[in-house]
Chains A and B, each alone.
Chain A
Amino acid sequence: MLRRRSTLGFFMALPLIVVLGALVVYPAGYSLYLSTLNKSMQRFVGVSNFTFLFTRDTFWMVVRQSVIFAVTAVFFKAVIGFCVAHFVHNTPTRGQRKWRGMLLVPWVIPPAMSTLAWLWLFDPSYSAFNWLLQRFGIEAIPWLGDPYWARFAVILVNVWFGAPFFMIMYLAALKSVPEQLYEAAAIDGANWWQKLWYVTLPMMRGIIAVTVLFSLIVTFANFDIVRVLTAGGPIDQTHVFATWAFKVGIEGNDIPLGACVSLFMLPILGAAAVVILRDVGRRGAEA
């Protein structure tokens, strides 16, 4: 009986396995193969593309920027998501659904579309933000023209887009924390901070780890927000791996080098996944 169920289970999962194989495994393998070819894709050159990449200042700048972008954006998404989840959790049950729905809107709109709206808000000539600033006598800000403001802009849009995901995950986790633990803490004289530190966070540790890992992977590989907002500029200072891989590989007609850039993320994200999931697994076993 068990063997029939697992065979049936396998066949039911087969369509997904085929899709994953065709759209994830095959392209990843093909990228690995491409990265070992020369620029015109006619000769095998081994790891020469990688060694060439490591000599490029722009590449190391993209590595730094990607790390700054991913870590900063994920940190703020997690903090904002955590705080907003608490607010929603503490609103009366009657109004919660409405708030949940409204707060999910940024995450539901296709990012390329919403980023276009942000692009217009940051527009050099027609920025609504600058219009408001100028009404208060403050000089217009070159949101996308200055490297530091441009980095701020892409991180802001990414946080705006991604915070609802954290909010909804943390809200679900908050609802699963037993109320008795808070009652016991209150009886012991714990204040709000102690409840948060000794009850809420430990109970949510697993979900926090998983959401941070998931978001790190997705944010590291972000393409649409940076592409639409800044296209990696100014002076390549908002490029992340995906946008630079596109620039080098597709627009620059050096597909093997573009493949190398995108593959560079793999060991970094793989290491992060191993470390975080090992911690989650260990805590699960202890529980």
Chain B
Amino acid sequence: MKKRLVSALVMTGAAIMLMGGCGSSKGQDSKATGDKSAADSGVEQKSEKKSSKAVTLRIGLPGGYDVTNKEIIEGFQNEYPDIKLDIDEAPWGDFTKKITTQIAGGTAPDIWFQENAAVLGYGDKGAAEDLMPYIERDLNEDEFASTLFSAQVGESVWGVPHGGNPIALAYNKDLFDEAGVSYPTDDWTYEDMIEAAKKLTKDTDGDGKTDVYGLITSGGITDGWFPWIHSAGGQALDETKENAVFDDEKSLKGITEWANTVNTYKISPARSTFNELGGTHQVFGNGMGAMVFLQYSLGNTVLNTNFPDLNYDTVKMPKAFDGEERIVPNVNNTWMIFSKAKEENKEAAWTFLKYYLSPEVQKIVADSGSTIPVNKEALTYMENLQFKPLNKKAYTEGVDESGVTLDENKCWNEWRTAAQPVFNDIMDGKTDPESGLKQIKKSVQEVLDENYEK
């Protein structure tokens, strides 16, 4: 019996091994000091264009050269031959999985980029260097869009943008022409958009099923419920980002209309339909939908590649139902410097960031069409690029006038994971908006309370 118990123990132990991650105790003994000012750590030393001391700079590139143009890395290497580069590239998912253990073990790259929300979390935990002293020392803020400070919390800036990815309203010109509906304008409200979508929704073959939808309403956060919750003046979190709002009257109106596009007006396909077809942008590319909230990156990298003949353009996001406010959700990827990197490596990393933010390099970023640069000179340059969508001002001016983050805070991943399943149920018609939003508010507030130790 004893022998059998032992063998059972071994087998179950092996099972735990299969699912358990191997943690390292390395790095536990020192609380990272991300709030330590750069001035304390030698930032005031004069930074020269050519580094006099040879350093090896480890740069983390999630998504490899598909996301960060190789020309930029090679250009930096040519301009700064004394800084040796050690590139740590991996597919996005693999990189983000391993980076937490690398940080814990003190073996993370000197500099890398990730979603802005993740970087805010690193800042809070002391893993990201505060870049405010570097920015104040070396950058002229007037040369940059306000998104330069997307990773600012209080007086600290935990990173600078790798690039922005805002949304605009994309429309299929051919479908508008066929239906005899005027193209959208920058002055459209959500009401105008819904009314136009009703006219554009058609059963073209008369089989009783809709073939062309006026609008493709996303179920996700960036191009889905977040802009819609603001469409009637509502909010997800309050200004402190420590309290959930969600269920006020304005938010309820916005989310009710969002769900109505699928369930009542039937001007948008169901979530399951566009999920099966590869996402909202694929459905838009296939000509099954006349309008969609389109993230900038999906235009050039997906629509222009997969649907080169698609005749589309963009206008700014619609104004709220009352015609007053407009919000443009903007998702940033953010470069950050590891707070535990050696001082000379931090300086080399900042040299790289200055190079990355220079007009010449930002124009390369603009040319990629996958992200919006942060340098104003490059933004002007981008507006004249001749790939679709031609009206890039829908993004550049849109984000400049009305850009907002997705209420990102240090526990963004956690609260949005609590909210998203209920939003899915609301959109699928399984939960009514009122009780769904109450449920969301309660779950999100619990997450916020736990993380802000209320």
Q: Do A and B come from one complex?
A: no
Interface residues in chain B, defined as those with a beta carbon under 8 Å from any beta carbon in chain A: none
Interface residues in chain A, defined as those with a beta carbon under 8 Å from any beta carbon in chain B: none
